[in-house]
Amino acid sequence: MKKANLKKYTDFIVKETSDLLNIDSPTGYTKDAAAWVKKEFEKLGFKAELTNKGGVIVDLTGKDKKNGLLLEAHTDTLGGMVATIKSNGRLQLTNLGGMNPNNAETENVRVVTKFNGIYEGTFQLNNASIHVNGDYDDTKRSWDSCEVVLDEDVKTKEDTEKLGISVGDFVCFEPNVRVTKTGYIKSRFLDDKLSVGILLGLAKYIKDNKITPKRALYAHITVFEEVGHGGSSSVPEGCTEAISVDMGCVGEGLTCTEKQVSICAKDSGGPYSYDIVQGLIKAAKDSGADYAVDIYPHYGSDVEATLRSGNDLKHGLIGAGVYASHGYERSHRDGAENTLRLLIQYSL
């Protein structure tokens, strides 16, 4: 079977992903990213609606309304929040989701105030100068031992408060998006903005080829996945199956690479539906997608939240391989293309 040429759709995915990555959207502060996602699906001609929770539901059309398929991806990311304004005017943070101070150190940040705009700064170890701090190497990086140094002339807590910065303000970490000549996509927060780009690529494929899916097909772009309840609501009526399109894990003990689509058989929430895993593997083989089947030891997905909220659905999880998850992540355009190839075969 000759493989379809999906280069133009992969190019589209990479462009859309890059644009979305540059929109700050830590969990709880996702309105700009959600508005962008809604607009992009509407530009492709599909009906998209914001949920009360702040996510985006997209109707990708389809015939069988009693056997619908829901594809879930999320646009919320890791981040931080101001927990304390210190006496020296610097900020102590609390994490949003699994943001880890060990790989956030020295990153540029943006502090989004409630009423006074956005300020820039850098997330640093307390007393960060190696020439001054003799304990630099031995200090454990934690949210207590690190701080945001504001790019403002502040020396006291009162100075910072005068800027309008307060406890509960969101702190967005710079994604540092880069696409290499060899096709690698490097950025913070590929989890899960790459998958949002892939679902936009699927929508474009449906539009360009004037396809009506054989079954009702929906996308839910969630905004609270990183804290565990993104997919716990907004399942369209008639859906019998839901698949999370999230990052595929790459690391020691697993077989997936950044150039493949990963099919998850089991994660920390238990096994995924046998029928769905079997169907996804068959679709990968039939479409010529390069794939791997893996078990993720420390992972949970939107679709598990969907099931825990009481929905009677079969469930699955796939995604392009992503290395260094929850850090400075890396995938490849081939991984995105193989994920799209599988989705086209499985859902259309």
Catalytic residues: 225
Number of H helices and number of E strands within the chain?
8, 19
CA–CA dist 239, 212 (Å, integer) = 17
Q: Which two tokens stand for residue 166?
A: 């307060």
Strand residues in the chain grouped as ranges (E): 47-50, 56-59, 64-74, 79-85, 91-96, 108-112, 118-125, 146-150, 170-173, 178-179, 184-187, 215-222, 239-245, 248-250, 261-267, 270-271, 291-295, 314-323, 329-332
Query: Residue 269 contacts by C-beta under 8 Å, 6 or more apart in sequence?
Result: 300, 301, 304
H helix or E strand, kind and range, residue 33: helix 31-43
Q: Cα–Cα distance between 343 and 341 in angstroms, integer?
A: 6
DSSP per residue, 178-215: EE-TTSEEEETTHHHHHHHHHHHHHHHHHHHTT---SE
Distance in angstroms (rounded) separating the CA atoms of residues 195 and 191: 8
Cα(156)–Cα(173) distance, integer angstroms: 23
Backbone angles phi, psi at 296, to 5 degrees: -100, 115
Strand partners, 323: 250, 330
d(CA 50, CA 57): 6
Place of tokens 């859902």: 347
